[in-house]
Amino acid sequence: MTSTPTPFMWRFMLALSRAVVFPLCRLRVSGDIPDELRAGPLILAANHVSPFDPVVMTAACHKAGIAPRIMATGGLFSAPVVGAAMKAAGHIRVDRNTAHVADALPAAAQALKDGALVLVYPEGRIGLDPWMWPERGKTGVARMAAASGAPVLPVAQWGAHAVLPYETPKHLLRSVLRAMRHRPVVHVRFGTPVDLTGLTGTAGAQAMQATRLIMDGIHDTLIPLRTGELETPRFVDETRAVDMARVRPRRPTDTEAAPLVAIQRRHRFRLRRRADHRLTQR
């Protein structure tokens, strides 16, 4: 299978991203993409922690020598200059919360069938887990994999929230100047392909099983990047909202991560106690 050539605009944006990232942070890329997967088709499934993530991922992909098509929010495509660049680069529009949101899935599946690499954020938004671990994912990535037969490679990123916080573009200049002063370390790690064999049940049930496996893969890939931060991030983004509705059950994956489940259960218990206390005070 031969993939379509990378558009000139996308090659230019990939190179430009390295120049944009350099003054704002120290990018560290680890892990590897197997040679047999580099030519595609391949789905790159990444966690989402900051508005700066797409820039970081673009620079990391350039460093890794790949040029995936990105599934991005429709708002970017509607912007005067950025929108034209996104279209020229061949990226895939996702109009969330509209009647056209379903159009993105067949477009991505077709790109994969044509041999492309596609980068997607399975959470569908910047994650709002209180401890900044990946949330429960949407089933779109699993359905893309089933429709195209493409393997899924988890990608973890960490530290971009110290560059641009959740509230961006509010106070953008202040955030940029702070990042330029401190140049925080931002990590991107390419993980191990997710084994999606052995799924059972209906198509919907299999999509849910596959989604859990994909999010587990992202979680496992993220653990080495959060050494010393398994309980609480060193940099706390005070502008970031919290949503407990999509918090994923945690499972230990190695000796370093073993205390994680107990830690987060204690956190949930404390949050519930605070909520109950506020209710009794009304």
**pLDDT tens string 1-18:** 555 688 889 999 999 999
* pLDDT band (50, 70, 90) for residue 202: very high
Mean pLDDT value across residues 142-166: 95
For residue 280, pLDDT beyond 90: no
C-alpha 253/C-alpha 189 separation (Å) is 17
Residue 248's nearest CA partner among 130, 120, 166, 121 is 130
For residue 272, pLDDT beyond 60: no
Helix (H, G, I), strand (E, B) or coil at 211: helix
- The pTM of the full predicted model, rounded to 2 decimals, is 0.84
C-alpha 265/C-alpha 269 separation (Å) is 6
C-alpha 47/C-alpha 123 separation (Å) is 7
C-alpha 72/C-alpha 106 separation (Å) is 15
pLDDT at 222: 97
Q: Which of 57-71, 119-133, 238-252 has the lowest mean pLDDT?
A: 238-252
Mean residue pLDDT of the chain comes to 87
